[in-house]
Chains A and B, each alone.
Chain A
Amino acid sequence: MKFLAFYRILPKSPAPVIPIFTDGKNNFRQISGKDDLVLEYKHTPDLSEDRMFISKEQKINTPDIGEHCIYAYEYAENSIAIGDIESIKHRLLSIISKEENISEKCFTILDIANFTENENLIRLAADSCYKSLNKFSFNLSEKWLNGTQLSDSIKEHVRQQNRKSTTIARGKFLFQFTCRKAVWQTLARNASFRNMTIDDYLDVCIDIAIGDGSFYGEFSPNDISKIYDILLSPKSKILSRHMEAVAKIIIEIRSVLEREKLVYSHNILEHLIIEHAQEDGFTKIKTFRARITRNMEKDVNKISKRFRLSKSEARGVIISSILDKADPEFISKVHALVKSKSDKLHKNFESQAIKYYNKYINYIPDL
């Protein structure tokens, strides 16, 4: 029996391939038994020619019955890793880190990780697999994870990892979304203030940015491309100026709120920005923020004394009362806390809350 060729069972690499042997007339493949020893050579007729190939670098000795089976893995086209079960495990682990062809394929890595029983690699690969499916839908990634043979501890690890990154990603997305929305709404506001469309307003901004508005006349293609650059560049500068300013303010407010351990939502931020952002560099928002913080501090003192709450609890009460879009879990927590002090106080709290709401609503027009 001699080695004849490798046989592809998948249409592309990386993938395992099957060594095919011949007795000169017929083709055979190994059948493994206990401990991965060759049990027999099984006659395998009608193999497709187009799936057979010979790797240039490999010389293969045919194992006898009872010897270790040969495993073969095509890690890149026509490049094969060969060995008995232990040696191929080592080889595959070293290939994963080097071969670009494999390193991007997380499910292939997971398959190899399971084969090599490398726990750390299984965790990493499973995590990547989940993420890659999550790009399509949460549903898909969860179905896959539920259906895998991975241990419960690895499944929990993957979920935890992705819970964290989903929260971050969601926060990031909302933040970007808020910025974009705020930019466009401030542009619309500025344009409408001048009875202009957004495009016209941007044109004016571009003209101002360039210095004059004389772009007219006949232009060569080269001129047109230059103009394009000019037109696009200031436009993007203006947009990024808006974007930068909005982002800066949002970050500032967010840090104030976080410092004060107050509940906030992106809706609140969005509202604050849109209503108060002005083209003059957003100075009014700073004033607004200072005012609301100053006034709130006075009320925090009042409410904490009256209801015997800590200052941070009192801040929570105020913010929750003002902004009904705040985290409902937090509101109910605060409500429960206040209610637990006494029903009478609770009633007082509610009337106070309405009072504060009415008071603060003046600072947030059109809420």
Chain B
Amino acid sequence: MVKRSAESRFSDFLLHANEKIPELPLVHISDGYHLLDILQPGVIRATPCKVFDRDILYMFYGKPAYRTKHNGNAFLSCHLPCAFIFKTDNISERIKSVFPFDTGAFHNNFYKSFFHNSSLITDFLLPPSIESAKRVVSTFYCSNHEYYCGSSRKNVDIPLLNFEAEGYHELSRAPAHPDANSKFSPDERASAIEVHFHEDVDLADRLLGCVLPVTFLDDETVKENLDKLNPEIIKTYSTINKHTSEAIAGKLYEIVEEIYKAKGIV
């Protein structure tokens, strides 16, 4: 098969990028409705993915981005999310692929205004390492904090005909924070770097933080398992009011940022 020129343009563009920037944790967001399915076994499972036709466990580099499934109902899948924030040191070697954005959103054409119709997901595939994520951040954003908040102000010198990098640069200018005002609809905002694992990942002693709805702590099983899993930081949020996806996502962004600040990450 003849190799398409687009196939490695994006990853080649990042080859010489600075990877010596501080590392961000990996974040997995679960639907709070099924929290116990994760806490009890102490494992996040790789589940069948229609886009890649295999079992995949998704995480995002640094961002608590959870509008990822794009299965037609963000309201359902996102409600009362729980965030698991992973230290990268003991899981990074198990990363199987890295993409600069939410592949689910790409698959569902949410990025059509940024990329050419003929662009394929695989055109954006990056080497399976944390360094790939760091290269994306250092290339398209002024800092980790800017990546976290979105709305990049960095001027990037993009070679002519590198449409993938050009499109991604545009995408990086959109705000990540779902509460922020933007010309894009919420599903277009996901410039979060996506990291894939092809196997289950254990939680015990790997968690930098865990964020969950406060009332979940009334469940004895949640408390017991949280104690066993021993995340470094536990944070909760109210469940009573502000149930819009944007409000809850905004809350989650704020809480995760607090964790990063407490740990001196951003």
Seen from chain A, the residues whose Cβ lies within 8 Å of a Cβ on chain B are 9-11, 14-16, 18, 29, 31-32, 42, 44-48, 71, 73, 85, 105-108, 110-112, 114-115, 129, 132-133, 136-137, 139-140, 143-144, 146-148
Q: Which of A10, A29, A112, A137 contacts B80 (CB 8 A)?
A: A10
Known pairs A136-B224, A140-B227; A9 contacts B217 (CB<8 A): no
Chain B stretch 217-266: residues in CB contact (< 8 A) with chain A: 217-218, 223-224, 226-227, 230-236, 238-244
Q: Which of A11, A16, A47, A129 contacts B239 (CB 8 A)?
A: A16
Q: Roughly how many angstroms separate A156 CA and B95 CA in the complex, as a whole number? A: 42
Q: Would you call A47 and B241 a contact (CB within 8 A)?
A: no
Q: Would you call B223 and A71 a contact (CB within 8 A)?
A: no
Q: Which of A45, A46, A108 contacts B218 (CB 8 A)?
A: A108
- Given the complex, which residues of B lie within 8 Å of A29, measured CB to CB? 75, 243
- 6 A-B pairs with the lowest CB-CB distances in the bound complex, closest first: A147-B235, A46-B73, A105-B218, A136-B227, A107-B217, A115-B240
Does any Cβ of A come within 8 Å of B180's Cβ? Answer: no
Does any Cβ of A come within 8 Å of B214's Cβ? Answer: yes
Q: Would you call A18 and B243 a contact (CB within 8 A)?
A: yes
Q: Would you call B215 and A107 a contact (CB within 8 A)?
A: yes
Known pairs A115-B238, A139-B230; A133 contacts B80 (CB<8 A): no
Closest chain B residue to A142, Cβ basis: B234
Known pairs A108-B218, A110-B214, A133-B217; A147 contacts B227 (CB<8 A): no
Q: Would you call B73 and A136 a contact (CB within 8 A)?
A: no
Q: Which of B79, B214, B236 contacts A9 (CB 8 A)?
A: B79
Q: Would you call B230 and A10 a contact (CB within 8 A)?
A: no
- Given the complex, which residues of A lie within 8 Å of B218, measured CB to CB? 105-108
Q: Roughly how many angstroms separate A146 CA and B236 CA in the complex, as a whole number? A: 11
Q: Would you call A111 and B223 a contact (CB within 8 A)?
A: no
Q: Roughly how many angstroms separate A42 CA and B243 CA in the complex, as a whole number? A: 12
Q: Would you call B238 and A10 a contact (CB within 8 A)?
A: no
With A9-B243, A108-B218, A139-B227 known, 12 other A-B pairs at CB within 8 A are: A10-B32, A14-B215, A42-B244, A47-B76, A73-B240, A107-B214, A107-B217, A111-B238, A111-B240, A115-B240, A115-B241, A133-B227
Closest chain A residue to B34, Cβ basis: A11
A-B contacts, 10 of them at CB < 8 A, read A46-B76, A47-B75, A71-B241, A73-B240, A105-B218, A132-B217, A140-B226, A140-B234, A143-B232, A143-B233
- Given the complex, which residues of A lie within 8 Å of B243, measured CB to CB? 9, 16, 18, 29
Q: Roughly how many angstroms separate A147 CA and B224 CA in the complex, as a whole number? A: 18
Does any Cβ of A come within 8 Å of B72's Cβ? Answer: yes
Does any Cβ of A come within 8 Å of B184's Cβ? Answer: no
Q: Would you call A132 and B223 a contact (CB within 8 A)?
A: yes
Q: Would you call B231 and A10 a contact (CB within 8 A)?
A: no
Chain B stretch 105-132: residues in CB contact (< 8 A) with chain A: none
Within the complex, the shortest CB–CB distance from A6 to chain B, in Å, comes to 12
Within the complex, the shortest CB–CB distance from A58 to chain B, in Å, comes to 18
Q: Would you call A111 and B215 a contact (CB within 8 A)?
A: yes
Interface residue SS majority, chain B: mixed
Q: Which of B215, B223, B234 contacts A10 (CB 8 A)?
A: B215
Q: Roughly how many angstroms separate A349 CA and B146 CA in the complex, as a whole number? A: 67
- Given the complex, which residues of A lie within 8 Å of B227, measured CB to CB? 133, 136-137, 139-140
Q: Roughly how many angstroms separate A70 CA and B79 CA in the complex, as a whole number? A: 19
Q: Would you call A140 and B223 a contact (CB within 8 A)?
A: yes
Q: Roughly how many angstroms separate A73 CA and B72 CA in the complex, as a whole number? A: 27
Q: Roughly how many angstroms separate A137 CA and B231 CA in the complex, as a whole number? A: 13
Chain B stretch 182-230: residues in CB contact (< 8 A) with chain A: 213-218, 223-224, 226-227, 230
Q: Roughly how many angstroms separate A132 CA and B220 CA in the complex, as a whole number? A: 9
Q: Roughly how many angstroms separate A144 CA and B239 CA in the complex, as a whole number? A: 16
Q: Roughly how many angstroms separate A32 CA and B218 CA in the complex, as a whole number? A: 28
Q: Roughly how many angstroms separate A202 CA and B32 CA in the complex, as a whole number? A: 55
Q: Roughly how many angstroms separate A136 CA and B232 CA in the complex, as a whole number? A: 16
Closest chain B residue to A12, Cβ basis: B219
Cβ proximity bits B44-84 to A, threshold 8 Å, 1 near / 0 not: 00000000000000000000000000001101100110000
Q: Roughly how many angstroms separate A148 CA and B236 CA in the complex, as a whole number? A: 6
Within the complex, the shortest CB–CB distance from A139 to chain B, in Å, comes to 7
Chain B stretch 153-200: residues in CB contact (< 8 A) with chain A: none
Q: Roughly how many angstroms separate A108 CA and B236 CA in the complex, as a whole number? A: 12
Closest chain A residue to B242, Cβ basis: A32
Q: Would you call A143 and B231 a contact (CB within 8 A)?
A: yes
Q: Roughly how many angstroms separate A125 CA and B239 CA in the complex, as a whole number? A: 16
- Given the complex, which residues of B lie within 8 Å of A18, measured CB to CB? 243
Q: Roughly how many angstroms separate A14 CA and B213 CA in the complex, as a whole number? A: 13
Q: Would you call A112 and B240 a contact (CB within 8 A)?
A: yes
Known pairs A132-B223, A133-B223, A136-B223; A143 contacts B214 (CB<8 A): no
- Given the complex, which residues of B lie within 8 Å of A14, measured CB to CB? 215
Within the complex, the shortest CB–CB distance from B227 to chain A, in Å, comes to 4
Q: Would you call B72 and A45 a contact (CB within 8 A)?
A: yes
Q: Roughly how many angstroms separate A105 CA and B219 CA in the complex, as a whole number? A: 9
Closest chain B residue to A39, Cβ basis: B244
Most chain A C-beta atoms within 10 Å of own C-beta, residue among B75, B213, B233: B75
